[in-house]
Structure 1
């Protein structure tokens, strides 16, 4: 029998998603800071003939990588922290 997920309760789900949004806001601000520092270092130690496209590609690459990683890890924390992972039926587990 499939157990009921804690995320089925609207109050717990609202709390969990609010926490997820708070984590994502923090990670967005951290990402903006890291991108700014990286671009400043690239500008300071780079050669003068570097194209603007290099800076744009670097900013987008760093930004998208950090945001995608934080979004996926945030979903892992959401699933684990709410008990949603324990509500699945594990048919492969041996109950001896």
Structure 2
């Protein structure tokens, strides 16, 4: 039998999701910096590469970082609100 989750309270849920969105904003800003640095590094190398290479690098780095940040943020949200304790054994 599961107990009520702290996320059932609208105020607690709103606070938790706002914190998750702030984390995602930070992760997105860091992602933009990392992608920009990677693209600048490859461009400065002077090697002739296709535009498809730059697209693949951008999508690969951004997708990996954003997905990792989103999943990590959900783990923090679940653990930080006590939602994990509500699902555990009695």
TM class by smaller structure: over 0.9
Equivalent residue, structure 2, for 1:20: 20
TM-score, length basis structure 2: 0.94
Report what 1:71 is aligned to.
Answer: 70
Which structure would you say has the larger Rg?
Answer: 1
Counterparts of 2:41 and 2:22 in 1: how far apart (Å)? 29
Distance in 2 (CA, whole Å) between partners of 1:63 and 1:2 is 37
Q: CA RMSD in A?
A: 1.2
How many residues align? The count is 90
TM-score (normalised: structure 1):
0.89
Moved beyond 4 Å, runs of 4+: none
The structure that is helix-richer by fraction is 2
Structure 2 unaligned blocks of 5 or more: none
Q: Equivalent residues in 2 for 1:72-87 (5 A)?
A: 72-87=71-86
